[in-house]
Amino acid sequence: MRERQDGLFRLLKKIYSGLQGYLDSDVDVEIQPIKLGFSICFRHDMDRFDERGFDEFMQFEEQFNAPATLFFLESQVSRFGQRIRKVTGGKFEMALHSEAKPTPFCWSLFQLSRFLERAYARWLRKQANRFDRSGLPTSGHSAHAVNNYLPFQGWINWNIIENASLRAGFDYISDWRLPSRIAEGEDFLPPWPAYIRQRGKRHILVLPTSWDDKIFFYSYEDVKIRLLADAEVAYRPRSAQDVWPSFLNQAERCRDLQTPCIINIHPWHAVCNGQSQFYELKRMIIEWCQRNDIPLLRCRDYLTSIKNSNV
């Protein structure tokens, strides 16, 4: 009787393993770290900008001769795509800041996550096609919301986002997996090296964000404490000098890994909200790179290294 139960268990386990490839998003994916060399890459999420703000952003950028990847929402391309097209090429790369909502119904079992992956990928393709029709073809994207409306804990959500990006045919994704795990104002987790996510013959380059401007802001605990402060005490983000050590720390960690240090700075804070320290930090980083002969690249520039590898 026991042998029959064991045999039935093994049979059911075999059937379940066979079905997993059709249900679970992450069972047939391989991860391969890749050494792209140390460099700095500015990622600028362009959400909150309207037409006027974008024009002011371009005036701000005239003071810098540094490349950057600009991630735009689909709604921004609809409203002022003509303005964006005028500055394509040169030092800027235009890319999608995705807001894919996979489905109004959220499956609560991660073992069924491939359904969400497929739905998410369909929306990503629609957004990428919209960019293409607007004359802004994009080879990569970054997720706008932390978990982009997916129902699981963050780690599973980011696996789905990356797998859906692979399925949608993107060449790269600028990942925000690690910064999403910390509160504002807290030290960053050690960076990850860039890696290839592969399923069968398909692959995508994942560029993990190493440093994020959320460190400018005080932690949630500090906000509660400052509620007790006098009204005359202004609540302002930290200065560029205050956050400079955190940048240097992450940059040196990336140098040890021989991987890009992806820097996420939201230009809106400086351009439209009067917080100049965000761009003061950018100036400090550019000058540091120039003194130390460190390359400044855009996200798509790393794809050349992938084409020259055996991946």
pLDDT in tens, 126-166: 999 999 999 999 999 999 875 566 777 788 889 989 999 99
Establish if 14 belongs to a structural domain.
no
Q: Say if 40 falls within a structural domain.
A: yes
User: The domain that contains 293 carries what CATH number?
Assistant: 3.20.20.370
DSSP characters for 170-214?
-SEEEE-TTGGGS-TTSPPPPPPPPEEEEETTEEEEEEEEEEEGG
Our count of domains for the chain comes to: 1
Position 11 in a domain: no
b/e per residue, 62-96, with b = 16+ CB within 10 A? eeeebbbbbbbbbebbeebbeebeeeeeeebbbbb
Q: Which 3 state secondary structure label does DSSP give 79?
A: helix
Residue pLDDT, tens place only, 200-250: 899 999 999 999 999 998 766 565 656 666 666 556 788 999 999 999 999
pLDDT at 28 over 90: no
204 lies in some domain: yes
Residue at 1 is within a domain: no
Q: Which domain holds residue 62?
A: 28-307
116: nearest Cα among 171, 162, 177: 162
In this structure, what token pair is assigned to residue 19? Answer: 């079905």
Q: Letter for the amino acid at 265? A: I
- Whether 259 maps to a domain, the answer reads yes
Has residue 4 been placed in a domain?
Answer: no
Pair of tokens at residue 66: 């540094």
Residue 183 has pLDDT above 90, yes or no: no
